Amino acid sequence: MGAGVGAGRRRRGTVAGLFGAAVLVAGTVLTSGGAYAQPAPGDHSAGRGEDDDRDGGKRDDHGKGDHGKGKRPGEKGTKRPAEPPAGGPSGAASAPSAGARPAPASPAVLASVEAGAATALPTTQGLQQALAAALGDRTLGTVTFAVADASAGQLLYGSGENTPATPASTTKLATSIAALSLIPSDTRLTTRVVKGANPGEITLVGGGDPTLTALPADQVQIGGLPADADTAPASLDALARQTAAALRAAGTTAVTLDYDLSMYAGNPQHKNHDAANIALVVPLMVDEGKVDPKSREEAPPRVADPAGAAAESFAALLRAEGVTVDGKARPAAAPAAATAPVLGRVDSPTIARLVERLLTTSDNTLAEAIARQAAVAAHQPASFEGAATAVKQELARLGVPMTGVVLDDGSGLHPDNAIPPAVLVQLLALAASDRHPALRPVLTGLPIAGFTGTLGKRFGAGSGAADAAGLVRAKTGSLSGVNTLAGTVVDADGRLLAFAVMTRTPAPADTARAAMDRIVARLAACGCH
């Protein structure tokens, strides 16, 4: 069967069709074991209604990408509506907001291996014929791509597939795979308060959790929706209440406060730091260092000193509990002793849930935090350099071909990162493999075309790719002049394919993205035999 498919073989863009073709192979299987924090299982994550990526700071003509301050090109000041969350591997998605399209909600994220085995693989000739017109779109500029069978990772078709290209935010796939391979999926990131060396001294110890929130529980949202029990961030207020109760029990009514940032090493400022797309990367912050913790902007203003701001927020909460905090919170002169008595602790969602969140929303600050957790697990310095080393070493250990791969960060903001398309599809095949069930959150975290996260406003009516809505789950990427898309698609025969499309073009970002979407839509529309 070629590019044209009979009506009886096509399930164009319908939710029922998507999940008729996608049969559960394996849900997310969370491993347990050695830990940095308290393990506990989780189920699903919430998505975010974004149609752009969070790689760059401004429009591409400003040299910082096409994504800044919540504005799309040509839509200055426009705020996008919230989209419903992506259903997780074993939990139901939260109810969609009024007027929003419901996302496909099903435990299925993989095409059945058994069904796929009975279906012939797409052929190189069939793929070439199906994609030729879409790939010839001049707005793509320089384009390289790869298409593989997701169940086995076998490369089926490509052009420049082994040529390194700027991955932008598809770098987050590498970060996520390495982190989930190195760290038990049920690990949580812990923020603690401990007694200091002297009476009346307490230390707030950063544990690398940028999602720690100072908001009341009823004001916390993820992707515009209330958080559920599995995705709700740790509460700074709860930490203050625990600490105040412990101090009262000990007869302490007045303290001095310092904060410990010793978990991370190196320069906390990203090369492309703009105090919007990413905060300073420090192990202590609340609400990802946002000036306005309720902001729905994709690149919101960040505070200049996230750790100091978090400590001052904590001091204010202690005072509200009746504890006198003398003076201003200050950085600790030395790391807190490992044996220091703990006065309070709060834990983040599991690493699996955090990975889903960072992929769905393309969260740069969270991605850099997870990259540093990978560095700690790999016994590397928790810095940009150490995290990049840890990710590359772990991917090599997993058998990923690393020729041409250059990583300088975990988020993809760095313009010198380089990954060939063939490597991106290998990463996706690893996540789909039944040999690596702990990597499944990489697939469940991918935005769904036309429904969630950074694909929420793509693959829409009039795009030329609408028939693939709901059939594609993919990570987006964008920097100045660079647009990438890598993910999975269910083809007309129900087989799951992995793909990566990488472009460099002077064309407007939205135009280039639409052209890439049409390439993927052609994959969804054919069996390509």
Catalytic residues: 169, 172, 362
Listed in sequence order, the residues at least 6 apart from 398 whose beta carbon sits closer than 8 Å to its beta carbon are 177, 181, 430, 436
Please state the φ and ψ torsions of residue 307, each to the nearest 5 degrees: -70, -45
Residues 6+ away with beta carbon under 8 Å from 372:
208, 263, 264, 281, 283, 382, 383, 386, 387, 410
Task: State the sign of the Cα–Cα–Cα–Cα dihedral 330, 334, 335, 341.
Answer: negative
Question: CB under 8 Å to 182, separation ≥6 — which residues?
Answer: 374, 377, 378, 390, 394
In degrees and rounded to multiples of 5, residue 17 shows phi and psi of: -65, -40
Whether the CB-CB separation of 227 and 46 falls below 8 Å is answered with yes
With contact defined as beta carbons under 8 Å apart, do 234 and 213 qualify? yes
> Phi and psi dihedrals of 488, rounded to 5?
-125, 155
Q: Is residue 314 a contact partner of residue 329, using CB atoms and an 8 Å limit?
A: yes
Q: Which of 165, 126, 222, 153 shows the shortest CA–CA distance to 425? A: 153
Three-class secondary structure of residue 150 per DSSP: coil
DSSP symbols for 375-423: HHHTT--SSHHHHHHHHHHHHHHTT---TT-B-S-SSS--TT-BB-HHH
For residues 493-508, one letter each, b for 16 or more C-beta atoms within 10 angstroms of the residue's C-beta and e for the rest, the string is bbbbbbbbbbbbbebb
User: Residue 248: CB partners within 8 Å, gap ≥ 6?
Assistant: 322, 323
For 416, how many CA atoms within 13 A lie in the half-sphere containing its CB? 8
Would you put residue 136 in left (φ > 0), alpha (ψ -120 to 50) or beta? alpha
Nearest-CA neighbor of 236 among 258, 209, 199, 201?
Answer: 209
Q: What is the dihedral of CA 155, 463, 363, 108, to 10 degrees?
A: -60
Q: Point out which residues pair with 419 in neighbouring strands.
A: 165
Q: Rounded to an integer, what distance in angstroms lies between the CA atom of residue 109 and that of residue 443?
A: 7
